[in-house]
Chains A and B, each alone.
Chain A
Amino acid sequence: MTAVTDELRSGPFAGMSEAQLHRLGACASLVRYAAGEAVIAEGAAADRFFLILEGEVALSAHQPHLGRVALESIGAGDLLGWSWLAAPRVWQLDAHAAGPVTTVAFDAACVRRAMEHDHELGYQLLQRFVGVIAHRLQASRLQRLDVYAPQGGPRPT
């Protein structure tokens, strides 16, 4: 557990108290995925979330005739998964390891219980997740702008 807690001191959980990190660490374990292995599956219960330590995970959706279409890559230092926070608590997308991936995997039910028990921990976590969600939303909006499209505007080259 100490090793897991150590992994939480930097990155998205930086700034949380030692006691809060230990509470989170008690709900977490190191989990590794081989290249191509599924990390989450659309429609399944969102009973975990992840801090990516190494490697890259591709968030994707399956489309008829196209197969698996990647929407976004989640890399080292990123949090993966927020469907565990809100009903209906099922994954909205698939995710698979783009290569060998090491994660800290959190038991969502355990974290929710800790948040209920310690509202300050809940506040700290929600503050961080809202930041992540807002940030990804901004990135998605930039993606939607399709800035490299041929009609995207004149360029010197």
Chain B
Amino acid sequence: MSAAPDPLLPRPCRIERVTRETGGGDVFTWELAPLDGELPGFRPGQFNMLYAFGAGESAISISGDPGGGPLLHTIRAAGRVTRAMRDLSRGDVVGVRGPFGEPWPLARAHGRDLLVVAGGIGLAPLRPVLLAALRERDRFARVLLLYGARTPADVLYRQEIEAWRERPGLEVAVTVDHDAPGWNGSVGVVTRLIERAGFDPDHSLALLCGPEVMMRFAGRSLRERGMATTDIWLSMERNMACGVGWCGHCQLGPLLVCRDGPVFPLDRVEPLMGVKQL
């Protein structure tokens, strides 16, 4: 009988491909492959701890297909560690621990409308949800992607979104906060897309991911349309370190985001989101 893998021990993985996702190049996707053996599967919403040797670790959501295919992580170079990651290239080796965390409760949307509401790079942890939902499309009523980005150049997975637009059974609406030459799509905040979506609030599940302010406003908009807070789920972020609930770095009131989340129902975290020093 083999022992369970040590959750604190990174597995070396090679960067097989780097895709620059946005205009500035600060958002990029890694395709990773283990140096030996196979990586464990994952469920939509889970994350890995990625280790840039010599720089440090960072919690990064898995953005690949839970049904198979390579391990994908979409990363924004926002801090010291992720900026070091941006400077790595194909062939470099990084450490991977995980997957960790509670997944999106996709089965709760069976027979109902599924609203995927993403802001900015928050689309990355929701991409696996869309891929999983499309694989078992008959289980859902409507499937909607409502996506807001800062500018047209910041729209993530642009080619894939265009392909999704053409796909029957998936309704896609994209808006940007700031217009730019050549953009013919919507301008305005993502909550405006929620207002126009025309979903049935009594028979829907909403999954939200983006900056916390955006999720707060989006959650409010969904509730104003009659959705129960138990049907609104969001992915929270705090400074995760161990990934398994041992170190307490990601504590959010009584919760440890890495272990109890990162996916939570709104009714569980809404009171905590309003606490300014938490």
Contact = CB atoms under 8 A, between A and B. Distances in A.
A156 B149 contact: no
B52 interface: no
A142 B191 contact: yes
A148 B175 contact: no
Interface string B17-36: 00000000010000000000
Interface in A73-93: 73, 75-78
Contact of A155 (B150, B181, B189, B211): B211
Given A71-B187, A148-B177, A157 B217 contact: no
A75 B79 contact: no
Interface string B159-202: 00000000000000001011101011111110110011000000
Identify the interface centre among B58, B122, B186: most chain A CB within 10 Å of its CB. Answer: B186
Interface string A137-152: 0010011011111101
Contacts, number: 103
B61 A156 contact: yes
Given A77-B196, A147-B211, A154 B189 contact: no
B237 A154 contact: yes
A143 B61 CA distance: 26
A157 B75 contact: yes
Contacts of B121: 148, 155, 157
Contacts of A76: 196
A155 to B, nearest CB: 6
Interface in A95-113: 98
Given A155-B211, A155-B237, A143 B188 contact: yes
A152 B210 CA distance: 11
Contacts of A58: 187
B232 interface: no
A34 interface: no
Contact of A146 (B58, B59, B177, B239): B177
A76 B197 CA distance: 10
Given A73-B187, A147-B119, A154 B179 contact: no
B150 A156 contact: no
A157 B187 contact: no
